[in-house]
């Protein structure tokens, strides 16, 4: 067995040194009736070569963004990943290490997380960011729980234009608590969350209002006006971002009154990977740092006075505060955070803004091309970034998407699945990976669907 060095002679020598005649003697605490008598019913072992060929075959049973022109987004975005990202993240000093409990031999991961925390703060314009959470959805749930802890209040107001799976995750996380969730319905014309609608449902003592921007429909929310409403009731404003590239050109949550900014960092260099691992991020204001979930890296010094980094403010966490911890999270998404750091360093201050403009330009281009078919029209009137909702006329969205699929195009997501009232609508995402030619093919395909 190539992953286990021991020969039979090695094992015999070790057993002799232990002072037993066989492994069985070491297992005397395991009652016979719970022992496995037959070999496990699992497939026979494969050689490395055999394994590669089996898995290559399984992977070929999938079709991907490599085979199809895909316009799917909805919380998972197909972006170009610069080569240096893979090379750095593939260094095994990083990826084969554990959570950096011993800072003297973990400065690589610690400093990169400190850089990551800084980058998230810069992008969101918040004071402090943690070292990552599982994904965007669970980050929203953690933010809601944190807001409840800070305000001591129970009512959680969620915009219905937040990613449906994020909202479902919040509901699951709150099953055991005493929170009350109310949803504020999006404006059917604009596709956004309106301040007066929030006012009607938030009650006198809301813990928080949670709004995603750009929201699930791709629409950019008027965050500042929403912040004003929730703050006037003494609640916290939680802003969710599922396409973080938008932060390169949109006004950051911290400048729109956000108290907690959370979201999904997958777009920053993490491949689609069928939905995970992704990167939950969370940033907040300094005064709330002790209420944050998750790991934090801080700057300090060593005995020689050199600048170093270590995990800090750990008494918030499960391994110390146990049942009173701010969260149960332990293992997070460290490597995905490192991925984001290297990605953001590669793109840089200008590159990221340029990339965001390209995404916007392409999305606007496709939107106009699709409108010109006269078969699709914008689902909502609000401005969008790289994702938008279209209403399909003359055919059903399912038929349209299936015709496009035959032509090698994954045209987007039919919204009926999440919003029964949007049975004629599809959600379309455009990134730098979609060529003009693909978009022309899309538009032509639409015409052929009727």
Partner 1 sequence: MAFDDPFSDKPLIFELSREGRQGVEPSRCDVPERDPEASIPGEFLRSDIEGSPEVSEPEIIRHYTRLSRLNYGVDTGFYPLGSCTMKYNPKVNEDIASFEGFLLLHPYQPEELCQGALRLMYELECYLAEVSGMDSVTLQPSAGAQGEFCGLLTIDAYFRDRGKPRKKVIVPDTAHGTNPASTSLAGFRAVTVRTGKEGVLTLDTLKEVMDNDTAALMLTNPNTLGLFERHIKEISDYVHQMGGFVYCDGANLNALMGIAKLGEMGVDIVQFNLHKTFSTPHGGGGPGSGPVGVKKILEPYLPVPRIRKKDDRYTLDYNQPRSIGKLRAFYGNFSVMVKAYSYIRRMGPEGLKKASTVAIVNANYIKERLKSTYHLPFDRACMHECVFSDRFQSQYGVTTMDIAKRLIDYGFHPPTIYFPLIVHGAMMIEPTETESPEEIDRFIEAMKEIDREARESPDVVKNAPTRGIKRIDEAGAVRRPVLRWQGSGGGG
Partner 2 sequence: MEFPKDLKYTKEHEWVRTEEDNIVTVGITDYAQDSLGDVVYIELPQEGGTVTKNEPFGVVESVKSVSDLYSPVSGVVKEVNEELIESPEIINGDPYGDAWMIKVEINSPEELDDLLTSEEYQKFIEEEK
The contact mask relative to partner 1 for 215-234 (x = CB under 8 A, - = no) is -----x-x-x----------
If one asks whether residue 87 binds partner 2 (CB under 8 A), the answer comes out as: no
If one asks whether residue 328 binds partner 2 (CB under 8 A), the answer comes out as: no
Residue keyed to tokens 């800070």: 150
Smallest gap from Cβ 321 to partner 2, in A, equals 6
Which window, 42-50, 86-94, 204-212, 312-320, contacts partner 2 (CB under 8 A)?
Answer: 312-320
Q: Which 7-46 residues touch partner 1, going by CB under 8 A?
A: 10-11, 13-15, 17-20, 23, 25-31, 33-36, 39-46
Smallest gap from Cβ 101 to partner 2, in A, equals 10
Per the omega criterion (within 30 degrees of 0), is the bond before 264 cis?
A: no
- Rule CB under 8 A: choose which of 195, 220, 314, 371 binds partner 2: 314
Q: Which 325-384 residues touch partner 1, going by CB under 8 A?
A: 325, 327-336, 338, 341-342, 344-355, 357-358, 360-362, 364-365, 383-384
The C-alpha atoms of residue 430 and residue 423 are separated, in whole angstroms, by: 22
Per the omega criterion (within 30 degrees of 0), is the bond before 214 cis?
A: yes
Q: At what angle do helices 334-372 and 107-124 cross, to 10 degrees?
A: 30
Token pair listed for 197: 């609608």
Smallest gap from Cβ 115 to partner 2, in A, equals 23
Q: Which 113-172 residues touch partner 1, going by CB under 8 A?
A: 114-115, 117-119, 121-123, 127-129, 131-132, 134-138, 145, 163, 165-166, 168-169, 171-172
Say how many C-beta atoms besides its own lie within 10 A of residue 205's C-beta.
13
Which window, 51-59, 136-144, 314-322, 381-389, contacts partner 2 (CB under 8 A)?
Answer: 314-322
Token pair listed for 286: 């300094």
Q: Which 418-447 residues touch partner 1, going by CB under 8 A?
A: 432, 435-436, 439
Give whichever of 319 and 394 is closer to partner 1, judged by the CB atom: 319
Contacts of 211 (CB under 8 A, 6+ apart): 159, 161, 162, 193, 221, 223, 226, 237, 238, 239, 240
Contacts of 196 (CB under 8 A, 6+ apart): none
């Amino acid at each position: 067995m190539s992953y286990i060095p021991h020969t039979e002679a090695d094992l015999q020598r070790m057993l002799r040194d232990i002072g037993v005649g066989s492994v069985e003697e070491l297992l005397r605490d395991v009652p016979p009736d719970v022992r496995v008598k037959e070999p496990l019913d699992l497939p026979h072992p494969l050689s490395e070569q055999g394994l590669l060929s089996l898995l290559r075959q399984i992977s070929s049973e999938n079709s991907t963004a490599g085979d199809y022109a895909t316009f799917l987004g909805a919380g998972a975005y197909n972006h170009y990943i610069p080569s240096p990202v893979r090379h750095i993240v593939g260094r095994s000093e990083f990826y084969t290490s554990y959570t950096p409990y011993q800072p003297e031999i973990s400065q690589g991961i610690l400093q990169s997380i400190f850089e990551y925390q800084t980058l998230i703060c810069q992008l969101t314009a918040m004071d402090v960011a943690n070292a990552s959470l599982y994904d965007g959805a669970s980050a929203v749930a953690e933010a809601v729980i944190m807001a409840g802890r800070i305000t001591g209040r129970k009512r959680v107001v969620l915009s219905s234009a937040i990613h449906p799976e994020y909202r479902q995750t919040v509901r699951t996380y709150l099953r055991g608590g005493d929170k009350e969730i109310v949803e504020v319905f999006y404006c059917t014309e604009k596709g956004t969350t309106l301040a007066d609608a929030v006012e009607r449902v938030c009650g006198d003592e809301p813990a928080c209002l949670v709004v995603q921007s750009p929201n699930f429909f791709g629409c950019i929310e008027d965050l500042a006006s929403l912040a004003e409403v929730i703050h006037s009731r003494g609640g916290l404003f939680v802003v969710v971002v599922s396409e973080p590239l938008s932060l390169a050109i949109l006004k950051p949550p911290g400048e729109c009154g956000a108290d907690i900014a959370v979201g999904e960092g997958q777009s920053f260099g993490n491949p689609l990977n069928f939905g995970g691992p992704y990167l939950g991020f969370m940033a907040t204001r300094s005064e709330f740092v002790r209420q944050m979930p998750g790991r934090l890296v801080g700057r300090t010094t060593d005995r020689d006075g050199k600048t170093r980094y270590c995990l800090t403010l750990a008494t918030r966490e499960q391994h110390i505060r146990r049942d009173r911890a701010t969260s149960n999270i332990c293992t997070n998404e460290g490597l995905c955070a490192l991925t984001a750091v290297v990605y953001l360093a590669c793109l840089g201050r200008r590159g990221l803004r340029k990339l965001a403009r390209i995404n916007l330009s392409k999305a606007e281009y496709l939107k106009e091309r699709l409108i010109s078919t006269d078969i699709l029209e914008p689902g909502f009137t609000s401005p969008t970034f790289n994702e938008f909702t279209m209403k399909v006329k003359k055919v059903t969205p399912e038929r349209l998407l299936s015709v496009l699929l035959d032509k090698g195009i994954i045209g987007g997501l039919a919204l009926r699945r999440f919003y029964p009232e949007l049975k004629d609508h599809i959600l379309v995402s455009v990134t730098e990976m979609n060529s003009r030619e693909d978009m022309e093919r899309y538009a032509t395909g639409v015409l052929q669907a009727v």
